[in-house]
Structure formats: C-alpha cells, structure tokens
Structure 1
Amino acid sequence: MFETSDGLKLHYRVYPATAEETGPPVLCLHGLTRNLKDFEDFAPKIAGLGRKVITATQRGRGGSDHDPEHARYNPGVYTQDMLALLDHLGIDRAVFIGTSMGGLMTMVAATMAPQRIAKAVLNDIGPELDPVGIARIRSYAGKTDGRFDSWQAAADAIRAINGVAFPKETENAFWLDFAHKTCREDEGMIVLDYDPAIAKSVAEGGDTDVDLWPLFDAMKDIPTLVVRGEITNLLMMSTVEEMQRRKPDLEFVNVPDVGHAPFLTEEAAWSAIRHFLD
C-alpha cells in the first residue's frame, strides 16, 4: 500500500520484468469505475517484454481507501497520486498506459510533469468525448444498487451493461471474469467495487464540456499510441483525425469488434503495443 499526501492508502502492484530489461517501467492506469484487476492479464505480458509494470487502484476503488472529500475524486488528484507513487518507487520516467479515465490522467500528467512520461498509450480516449458514450456512462455509473446474490448474477448485470462493447464475447466465462475484476464479496453479497461518489461529476455533467485539447497538445513531444475500440461510442474517428493532424507522429490502431474499452490483450491492440514499446 502507498500513502498519499492527504493520508489515504492506495493499493498497487509491481510486476518485475520476467525477461532482460528493455526500457523504462510501465504504469497502467484504469478507467472510471475500475481498478488494477483490469490489468491482471495484460501486465504479465508487458513484464514478459522486459519491462517492470506498476498497476494501481485510484482512491475510491478496489483495495484503495475511499475519500471522505468527494471533490477530490478527479483526474488532477489521481494524477498527483500516481506521480507521488512513482517517486515512492524511485521511478523517474515511465511509459504511461491509460484506459479511458486513465488516458485523461496521462494527458494531465503531460501538463504537470511531461519529463516523467517516456511514452504514452491512450486507450479509447481523446480530448473530445462522444455525447453518446457519456450518456451511457451516466446511465449506470453510481446509479445501480450494485449488490448481487451470486457471482453469476453480477456477471449477468455486467453483461447487460457492457455486452454492446463486446458483442463477440458469448462465453459465460468471459463475463464471470469481468465480474471478478469489477466486484468483490461483502458480507455474503457480491458488490460493485467502488464508491458510488466517484461518478458524481460525470453523472451531473461535471467538467465534460471543458476544452481538453490543451492537455493533448501538451503531449506533442511524447511518443504516443492511440488504441481505439472499432465500435466504441466514446472516441470518435473525427477526434482521432484531429489528434493526428495536431500530432503527425501519432500512432493509431483500431481494435475490431470491441467498443469502450479494449482490455489491450486483444490481438490488434497487443500487436500495436508490443511494436510501440519496441
């Protein structure tokens, strides 16, 4: 556990490189309602490329403390936490891999401390967000009761919400695994593993209309790969095209048959990331 400057304890994991080290460590940053378990399959693959991997759960989720000051549930605070975690681990520079909110954090880090980012992967996120995807997130984040009487019931509920993003995933095992990544056991029940207050800013509109392009422009000198779910409802192709116009060296991959957001272990995503890190 790592203690933040305001006294909260955050859960993190370090995966040592399992091959000869080939470059800076990799920091994996999850999405709004998720936690470090999102990277349980991805992190060992990165470690196998000769990279130390750090995964962390942001405040208010999983094994990390909930924040009594709900206003601190925002990407700026999360990013400061992660920079402090890198300091704690003695890491000067890392490759930042951010899914959704984690990608926003990566862009924020580029404004706070660009020298800390060796390379960046933005997973299904950009400086403009499709209103359709925002509406979908608002429809469920922090809104459901989030308590289930079995893991199967949890898997069924998660499939009802996320099935549109993974239409080819028809096996129950995938959805049970998804449930185990996003829920926990609590007094005989299965519950969503986050503080509902984390979604307050998104549910109420929050800062979704803020101009985020200056955050992306801060990445102009940082090698960057954008991973997009081909059927995503959050990252529009028009946004990717503008990102490419502003940053001609931007690398890009579409992941077939996946929406928001790829797990990064998909063949197309993994191949692009492996090449990008090499």
Structure 2
Amino acid sequence: MSATGETFQPRERSVQCASPAGLHRMAYTEWGDPANQNVLVCVHGLTRSGRDFDELAQALSRDYRVVCPDVVGRGRSGRLADPRFYSVPQYAADMVTLIARLNVERVDWFGTSMGGLIGMTLAGMPDTPIARMLVNDVGPRLQAEAIQRIGEYLGRPVQFASEQQAIDYLWQISQSFGPHTPEQWRALSLPLLREQDGQWTLRYDPRIAEPFRAITPEQAEFGETMLWRAIEAFDGPLLVVRGAQSDLLSRETAAEIASRARHASVVEVPGVGHAPTFVDPAQIQIARTFFIGR
C-alpha cells in the first residue's frame, strides 16, 4: 500500500545471472511501490521459495519495496547446468546481480536459514550493499543433527497422486516450523509444487543435494570461520531470530553471534523449531519493529 492508500499487487519478474557453467534466470516477486528506494530483500531456506514471504511482504510493503527472489534451482527460477555451483558463493553473486537490477545502492536483508547464510556472506564483504539484516534461525555454526535431518529428505525423488498428498508430505518434513492453520500451510506449500503428467512433484532441482552431501568436515570448518569473520565485519544492525526449539541454531551460537557482532541482538520465538515462517502476526511484528521501528 502506498502513502496514498493504493494497494500494490505482487509483481513477478526475473533477472539473468551467470555461473561458470553459463547463464540462468532468477525469478523474484516484488511488492510495494516500484519507485520506493527503501528495499527489503527476503531470501528463503534451502528448498523453499520467495513466496514464503507473502504475508511478511504485504505487511511491510507500505514502507518498503519488498523483493523476494527464488534462489536458482527453486521456485520459478531456472536450474544450473552444473550442480556443483549450487552453493552460497553462487547465490551471493546472483543477489549482487539482482540488487544491480533494482537500481539501489543499499538494501535491508531478511534471510531464513540458507537465505541468512547468503546474507551473512554479503554483509561481511567490503562495501556491502546490506545496511540492516535479520537472520532467521541460522548462524555460522550449524548443529550436526539438523544437517543430518535435512539430508534425509533433500533431493529425494518423490511424487504424489494428489495436491493434498504433496501438501501433507511437506508438513511431515516441516513440523518444526511450528503451528499453522491448514489454510496457512496450504498457502506456504502451493508455490513449492508443480503438476506433471497427473503427478505432483516438488518445484526444486533435486541436484541441489549433490554439493550439500559432498561438503567435507574441512570445508565446513572453513565455511564457519569465514562466516564468523563476516559477522564480525558487518557494521550494521543485526537481529538474530531463533526458534526456541531449533535443532539448527543453538542458543549458545545465537549468544555468541550477539557477543561477536558489532550491533546485534537475539529474539527467541516460543513453540517453534527450525524455522519461524513469519506468517504469524507476532512474528511479523518482530520484523516490523526491527526494520521500521514500530
């Protein structure tokens, strides 16, 4: 909604990006006044899509132009020719391309899980475009049991006989997201599904599992070190949101982020694990207070 009370509908757009293996298209959904220079970029988790942020984007679109990309290999975006490049450095490069398309110098950032890792990577770079950042249930140090849990379903070739069966499956692997009404869960699920030859499948490239499973302990340790450096380098306000029952972000790691970052605080969401979906009004208010101040 604009200052004059006009309601803006979401706009579906895309931008062309590059990887070492060629070009690919990254889709994004945009909310709010397209001329607004105050931009909030919202980036989703590992197998999700930018439509996860519909409720949050609507709530903040009076103050922000809210941009919600589908990370390559997910949602309406294209797929990479070489799955080895399904990694945070590639995703961060794509986001730099997106920000250039938006024609702004600075953005605020909301990153859930993988989206938070991408944000931290960008935030720690010299001349980062990120001014203010919320990371949702993720940090430099990730708990091994959660990585194992995610790896059990990531990339599995699943098919379903009906839309509802697919929605039920997504709930089965996502119950840590916390309580949702059937209507809320359906809205979160439909953008992740596609119908093909009478069967319902998941709308992400199963090959994203290949580099996920190929990470060595040495690579994981190096990645954690680099993310801690990024956290320490970022000079903007940082809010860490943690699901109180999260198995990915421990309370100790969240506290360590607050102690090592320059301007950080932590909020816990009760009754939720990994990760809060920010469709609940109380969760949306956490983001509103941090980004807008009211």
Q: TM-score, normalised by structure 1?
A: 0.90
Whether the 8 Å CA contact 2:236–2:263 is kept in 1: the answer is no
Whether the 8 Å CA contact 2:136–2:275 is kept in 1: the answer is yes
Match of 2:243 in 1: 229
Secondary structure of the equivalent of 1:13?
strand
Name which of structure 1's ranges 104-113 and 26-35 shifts more when overlaid on structure 2. 104-113
Match of 2:6 in 1: none
Secondary structure of the equivalent of 1:98?
strand
Tell me: CA distance 1:164–1:31, structure 2 relative to 1, closer, same or farther (3 Å): closer
CA distance in 2, matches of 1:265, 1:189: 28
Whether the 8 Å CA contact 2:195–2:201 is kept in 1: the answer is yes
**Which residues in structure 2 correspond to 1:195-274 (within 5 Å)?**
195-206=205-216, 207-219=219-231, 220-247=234-261, 249-274=263-288
1:98 aligned to which of 111, 127, 135: 111
- Superposition deviation, residue 227 in structure 1: 0.9
**Which residues in structure 2 correspond to 1:64-103 (within 5 Å)?**
64-103=77-116
Secondary structure of the equivalent of 2:141?
coil
1:41 aligned to which of 25, 38, 55: 55
Match of 2:203 in 1: 193
- The residue type equivalent to 1:61 in the other structure is R
Match of 1:172 in 2: 182
Secondary structure of the equivalent of 2:222?
coil
2:176 aligned with 1:160, yes or no? no
**Which residues in structure 2 correspond to 1:106-185 (within 5 Å)?**
106-143=119-156, 145-166=157-178, 168-169=179-180, 171-185=181-195
2:21 aligned with 1:9, yes or no? no
- Superposition deviation, residue 238 in structure 1: 0.6
- Superposition deviation, residue 211 in structure 1: 4.2
Whether the 8 Å CA contact 1:27–1:53 is kept in 2: the answer is yes
Whether the 8 Å CA contact 1:16–1:47 is kept in 2: the answer is yes
- The residue type equivalent to 1:13 in the other structure is T
Tell me: CA distance 1:268–1:60, structure 2 relative to 1, closer, same or farther (3 Å): same
Whether the 8 Å CA contact 2:124–2:230 is kept in 1: the answer is yes
- Superposition deviation, residue 254 in structure 1: 0.7
Tell me: CA distance 1:177–1:208, structure 2 relative to 1, closer, same or farther (3 Å): farther
2:69 aligned with 1:59, yes or no? no
- Superposition deviation, residue 247 in structure 1: 2.2
Tell me: CA distance 1:101–1:213, structure 2 relative to 1, closer, same or farther (3 Å): same
Tell me: CA distance 1:187–1:112, structure 2 relative to 1, closer, same or farther (3 Å): farther
- The residue type equivalent to 2:15 in the other structure is F
Tell me: CA distance 1:268–1:209, structure 2 relative to 1, closer, same or farther (3 Å): farther
Which structure 1 segments of 5+ residues have no match?
none
Tell me: CA distance 1:271–1:173, structure 2 relative to 1, closer, same or farther (3 Å): closer
CA distance in 2, matches of 1:103, 1:114: 18
